A and B are shown apart, each in its own frame.
Chain A
């Protein structure tokens, strides 16, 4: 048996065979449904969405704090003066040094 001739004959036989191009019923519908269920989330869009949602509570908190700061009466007594307390603490050692003989 001549393998080269056999190869030629078999290839010639394969060439005569046209593959079937039949498509299963509603295949395109199946693909579209599959694609709809597999839509890849857009990371940037997800971030944007999250940031927009977070912006609303942030604005609300800012408004509340602003209102609280605006409407709370300012401390008038010296005992509640934060800057005075800070100064006393910072200079406490120097004051003690002055008082010691």
Chain B
């Protein structure tokens, strides 16, 4: 008979580390999907996922079972991703002169006719990925959660451990930061 999550957690807490494996198996897809939003290289994604599970194992005593295990784990995942972003702040100051040909074409077509460009173009996805990499860690996190994943401010506050007013302030700053980056890109490209 398959054991419930609560039974597995109780077994892990009583010293049976092997009971952690079914939890890792069940929730790793979500952890990996979240990590892939913030890390590009597969080795970095694996490092984040591994860090999440090691932290989860170490802090399992603090899981009180009031909320689902998945929520508790996702909070840990988002916070680990944020730590990763803070530890890997690279290429933020680089220019937009190295845009690929499809990205340049997409921008040219957008500049010529803003309404005609399909939103799901691969070039646009590459471009937004590049812009997100230039954002500061809090800005990137808040833009990803608020604008891309379409989460509420309250949800973001719970996931990140920030207060609701802090999320709002950071969202405001993040939008401003993003606009500045886009303006810089437009200047470099078209002036």
**Contact between chains at A28 and B28 (CB < 8 Å):** yes
Also in contact, A13 and B121, with CB within 8 A (given A6-B110, A35-B54, A39-B17):
yes
| Across-interface contacts of B18 in A (CB, < 8 A) | 32
**Contact between chains at B128 and A10 (CB < 8 Å):** yes
**Contact between chains at A13 and B124 (CB < 8 Å):** yes
**What interface size band does chain A fall in?**
35 or more
| Across-interface contacts of A32 in B (CB, < 8 A) | 17-18, 20-21, 24
**Contact between chains at A35 and B20 (CB < 8 Å):** yes
| Chain A: CB-nearest residue to B190 | A1
**Contact between chains at B24 and A31 (CB < 8 Å):** yes
Q: Does B34 contact A (CB under 8 A)?
A: yes
**Contact between chains at A9 and B150 (CB < 8 Å):** no
Summarize B's interface: helix, strand, loop or mixed.
helix
Also in contact, A3 and B183, with CB within 8 A (given A13-B119, A20-B33, A31-B24):
yes
Q: Does B57 contact A (CB under 8 A)?
A: yes
Also in contact, A13 and B50, with CB within 8 A (given A3-B179, A28-B28):
no
Also in contact, A7 and B54, with CB within 8 A (given A23-B32, A32-B18):
no
CB within 8 Å of B: which A10-26 residues: 10-24
Q: Does A98 contact B (CB under 8 A)?
A: no
Chain B 95-121 interface mask (CB, 8 Å, partner A; 1/0): 000000000000100110010010111
Chain A 24-38 interface mask (CB, 8 Å, partner B; 1/0): 100111111011101
| Across-interface contacts of B169 in A (CB, < 8 A) | none
| Chain B: CB-nearest residue to A2 | B114
Q: Does B37 contact A (CB under 8 A)?
A: yes
| Across-interface contacts of B53 in A (CB, < 8 A) | 31
Q: Does A69 contact B (CB under 8 A)?
A: no
**Contact between chains at B25 and A28 (CB < 8 Å):** yes
**Contact between chains at A27 and B24 (CB < 8 Å):** yes
Q: Does A46 contact B (CB under 8 A)?
A: no
Q: Does A5 contact B (CB under 8 A)?
A: yes
Q: Does B157 contact A (CB under 8 A)?
A: no
A19 to B36, CA, bound (A): 6
Chain A residues with CB under 8 Å of chain B are 1-7, 9-24, 27-32, 34-36, 38-40
15 contacts between A and B (CB under 8 A): A1-B186, A1-B190, A6-B182, A9-B114, A10-B131, A15-B148, A20-B36, A23-B49, A27-B24, A27-B28, A27-B46, A29-B21, A31-B53, A35-B54, A38-B54
